[in-house]
Chain A
Amino acid sequence: MSFKSNLRILGALLHKELMLMKRNPIIPKIIFIMPIGVMLLLPLVATMDVRNVNITVVDNDRSQLSRRLVADMDATAELKVTDIVGTHSEAVRNVENGDADVILTIPPHWSRDLSQLYVEANGVNATKGTLGAQYVSASLMTTLGKWQTAHGISMTVPAVTVKNSYNPTLNFRNFMIPALLIILLIIICGFLPALNLVSEKESGTIEAMNVTPVGRFTFVLSKLIPFWVAAIFVITVGMLTGWLVYDLWPEGSVWDIYVASILFSLVMSGLGVAIANRSATMLQAIFVMFAFIMIFQLMGGLFTPISSMPQWAQIVTYAVPPRYFNEIIRAIYLKGASMSDLWTQYVCLAGIAVLISLFAAWSYKKRA
């Protein structure tokens, strides 16, 4: 059949998808509500910023300086001095009761000889413990520095300044919002076409299609195009919500984000179709999709840095498409990178998109 007649058939199939989607009670709502809901709600709750670190101080010094240390600590946003006790065992009891995350022990006569200070953190919640201890030592350093300057003493403690590039406030939201955009695309472009295709299998309409001369590429395309459009819509809504609500707008080019989003949509929709081709029921398709989504979320570097993974896992992540998309989105959003800086990621993503789409088209069989 000629290209033109295939185009006409594609038009008819797209019209069909559009009408079915329009009359579907749920899908259009998901496409509208999900991006807005996810972007409004999740950045607020899915935060790893550590706040409200409770400190118990064992003050054996009871000097002017030690009191100032405690007061300055309490004044920081993250730390809260909840108790000042006389003995270390009382402080440990506070930790055991869950009333303290970090213990600061000031030895006797400390203000005179400025010897060691002891900071102990409760490691049960590893993130809170480590960050809490860091905040405490940072606060101590600041107070000591000021005190020494005021008293004309030369610096005995090395001054450490940490500057957080690209995300100056170390706001976890700025890290989360790109990750949420990625998850939205995974669901819209991976799940929905897969479910759509399998539902045609379950209702038997796919057989009515398979017995016609419709080309399988044409048919699969008609399944994917609506969700590519939905992906562009979702990413737009997501970016706008991020900007309006959290004041986070990409530092780099929005068009570079769109290009990457389209490539990633191709990957996800290809995967969705490939899974649907091998699934007889919705249940099967959903289970397999879930397995992929778990791996994508946990190994794509969305929430945990890939560089902290074991060596073998780091190698595996090269086969996880969200890895590239994640690197692109974060670099454009936070660092203002451009397509030419990220060309390897773009090329990898494009390569996977082509391979997976070819596999999806190949695995669609009109004849069993």
Chain B
Amino acid sequence: MNEDNYAISVRGLTKRFGSFTAVDHISFDVGRGEIFGFLGANGAGKTTAMRMLCGLSRPTAGAGTVAGCDINTQSEMIKRRIGYMSQKFSLYEGLTVTENLRLFATIYGMSDRAIREQSNRVFSLLDMDNMRDTLVKDIPVGWKQKLAFASATIHRPDIVFLDEPTGGVDPVTRRKFWELIYRVSSEGMTVFVTTHYLDEAEYCNRVSIMVDGRITALDTPEALKSEYHADTMDQVFRIVARQATRGE
């Protein structure tokens, strides 16, 4: 196996909180430029797994690389090469749209000129030109999600992690959000995304389904559908998730 071909490659990744095993020896690879869907019921361990990959949580066991860096020893190096959009909106509500983007871009070491150029590009891409100087707390939810995405990708990371990016968003905006994901993916960025919307799973190159902290299914949406004799990913998910014994 040549690790360089993978954006993410983990073996036996495990996280235990006391006697509770949130993530139980998961192993998988994500290719460069791939859109990788990370599915699972609530409490299956998706967010915990993602937090380990992003260097926010220390793995209890297991090894692997993210963007070519070791997840156990090089978590700060990983952080320079990834973007992360958390489930909970976490930009500064008391700052304007521009101030938020500028802050995060500066932290990623972008020059003032690059920040200006990227901001302009992002604003026209997201159709947010008239909101530049609006306080983030005053913009609608759908726009907030787009802004959070922009902030997670402004520094052109190798990989972007999206934790339920379309939660609470209307279908039209959801559709537009996925256009953004396709756009960054076409530019070579790897996208690692969790979602509860099974129609969105169809948009992914490959999909994994987590049940009780383990990955029980992993393949392209087409292969999964034929394997489980299902017409949609929704049916696949119902069949796979039925095996769960862990409550919410």
Q: Which residues of A are in contact with B by a Cβ distance under 8 Å? A: 1, 5, 8-9, 12-13, 15-16, 19-20, 23-24, 203-205, 207-214, 366-368
Cβ of B104 < 8 Å from any Cβ of A?
A: yes
A206 to chain B: closest CB distance in Å?
8
Beyond A205-B91, A213-B76, A366-B55, 15 additional contacts (C-beta under 8 Å) are: A9-B106, A9-B109, A13-B107, A15-B103, A16-B95, A16-B103, A19-B95, A24-B94, A205-B90, A205-B92, A208-B104, A209-B107, A211-B84, A212-B108, A213-B109
Name B83's closest neighbour in chain A (CB-CB): A211
Name A9's closest neighbour in chain B (CB-CB): B107
A8 to chain B: closest CB distance in Å?
6
| A318–B193 alpha-carbon span in the complex (Å) | 55
Are B56 and A211 interface neighbours, CB within 8 A? Answer: yes
Are A203 and B99 interface neighbours, CB within 8 A? Answer: no
Contact residues of B between 36 and 65, Cβ < 8 Å to A: 51, 54-58
Cβ of B231 < 8 Å from any Cβ of A?
A: no
Q: A213 and B94 in contact (CB under 8 A), knowing A16-B99, A207-B56?
A: no
| A209–B90 alpha-carbon span in the complex (Å) | 9
| A24–B137 alpha-carbon span in the complex (Å) | 13
Are B95 and A367 interface neighbours, CB within 8 A? Answer: no
Q: How many pairs of residues, A versus B, come closer than 8 Å at their CB atoms?
A: 78
Cβ of B32 < 8 Å from any Cβ of A?
A: no
Q: Which residues of B are in contact with A by a Cβ distance under 8 Å? A: 51, 54-58, 75-76, 79-80, 82, 84, 86, 88-95, 99, 102-104, 106-109, 135
B2 to chain A: closest CB distance in Å?
27
Q: A203 and B90 in contact (CB under 8 A), knowing A214-B107, A368-B58?
A: yes
A-B residue pairs, 5 tightest by C-beta: A12-B106, A204-B90, A208-B90, A211-B84, A213-B80
Are B88 and A367 interface neighbours, CB within 8 A? Answer: no
A–B pairs, 19, beta carbons within 8 Å: A1-B109, A12-B106, A12-B107, A15-B103, A16-B95, A20-B92, A23-B94, A204-B86, A204-B89, A205-B91, A205-B92, A208-B90, A208-B91, A211-B54, A211-B82, A211-B84, A367-B58, A368-B56, A368-B57
Are B92 and A207 interface neighbours, CB within 8 A? Answer: no
Q: A20 and B94 in contact (CB under 8 A), knowing A212-B79, A367-B56?
A: yes
Name B104's closest neighbour in chain A (CB-CB): A212
| A367–B74 alpha-carbon span in the complex (Å) | 12
| A204–B99 alpha-carbon span in the complex (Å) | 18
Are A367 and B57 interface neighbours, CB within 8 A? Answer: yes
Question: Which listed residue, B76, B86, B104, B107, touches A207 by the CB 8 Å rule?
Answer: B86
Question: Which listed residue, B56, B95, B102, touches A210 by the CB 8 Å rule?
Answer: B56
A-side contacts of B89, CB under 8 Å? 204
| A13–B94 alpha-carbon span in the complex (Å) | 14
B164 to chain A: closest CB distance in Å?
13
Are A213 and B79 interface neighbours, CB within 8 A? Answer: yes
Question: Which listed residue, B55, B79, B99, touches A19 by the CB 8 Å rule?
Answer: B99
